[in-house]
Amino acid sequence: MYELWPTAERMSSRDISISSTCLRCKKSIESFNHVYQCTSRGATSAFRVSFHSLPKDLKLQKTAAPIIYCFKIFFLAFQKCSKPECPQYKFGDKKKFLALQRAFQHQSLLGPASLQAGYLSYKWSLVQSLYISNSFNTRYNVPWAAQVIRSIWKFSSSLWLKRRLQVHKKVQELDASLTTEELKHTIRSYLRLSRTLLSPIERKFHDNVRRHLLRASSTTLA
C-alpha cells in the first residue's frame, strides 16, 4: 500500500535490476499499479484467486453488501484499466442509495488507484452507519474503516506473494532438483575427454575442477 514492493521499476531505479519491463507480460513496465493490471495468464489468475478472498474478509468486518459491491466495481475496473461505473438506483431506500452514490463519486475523485493505495473516502463510514448502526469492531474496538483498509492490505499482500512465487517458481524447482551428485555428473560430462588429447595445462585444469567438486557443498554448487 506504500508502494514499497520490489517491482522491476523500483529495482531498476536503484540499479539492482537490468530492465524495468515486466517479466510476465513483457509489454509494460512493472510498476506498483501494473501488479494489479498485468495481462499475463498467471497474473490474471493470481488476481482472481486473491480477489476472491476480499469480499469474504469484508463480510467478516460486517461491511454492508452495497459497499462490498461498490468496492468490487472499483477493483475490477482498475484491474481492467477502465473507469468504474456508479451503480444505478433500482429499488430500496433512496436516502441510503444517495449516500452510497456520493461516496462512490468521492472515491472516484481520489483517483483510480486510491483503494489499492489505502486511500478510503470518509463518506463510506457514513454509508456503513446508515446500513449498520455499529461501525466499530466490537472485539478490538477498531473503526470499521481501519478494518477495511486492513482487508485491502491482506488482498494486496496475497496478490504480490503469488506474483513473486510465479517469477521464482522455475528457479526454485531447478535448485530443488539439482542435487550434489546430479551437478557433479552434469559438470563431469563436459570434462570427459581423453587425457591423451589434453595439453598439460588442460589436464591440470580438469584435475582442479574435479578436486573442487569433491569439496564443494550442495549450496555452493547450486
- Whole-angstrom Cα distance, residue 56 to residue 54? 5
How confident is the model at residue 106, as a pLDDT? 92
Distances 122 to 45, 59, 87 between C-alpha atoms, Å: 32, 19, 19
The three cell numbers locating residue 86: 456508479
Tell me which of 78-82, 145-149, 168-172 is least confident: 168-172
CA angle 60, 145, 94 (to 5 degrees): 85
How confident is the model at residue 174, as a pLDDT? 41
* The one-letter amino acid at 64: A
Q: Which of 123 and 210 is assigned the larger pLDDT?
A: 123
Q: What are phi and psi of 21, to 5 degrees?
A: -75, 145
If pLDDT is split at 50, 70 and 90, which confidence band does 23 have? confident
Where in the chain are the domains?
8-174, 178-221
Tell me which of 153-157, 172-176, 177-181, 204-208 is least confident: 172-176
- Whole-angstrom Cα distance, residue 221 to residue 96? 65
* DSSP letters spanning 94-152: HHHHHHHHHHHHHHHHT-TTTTTTT---THHHHHHHHH-S--EETTTTEEHHHHHHHHH
DSSP structure class, residue 87: P
From 14, 83, 36, select the one nearest 22 (Cα to Cα).
36
| Cβ burial 157-180 (10 Å sphere, 16+ → b, else e) | ebbbebbeebeeeeeeeeeeeeee
Query: Bridge partners of 143?
Result: 136
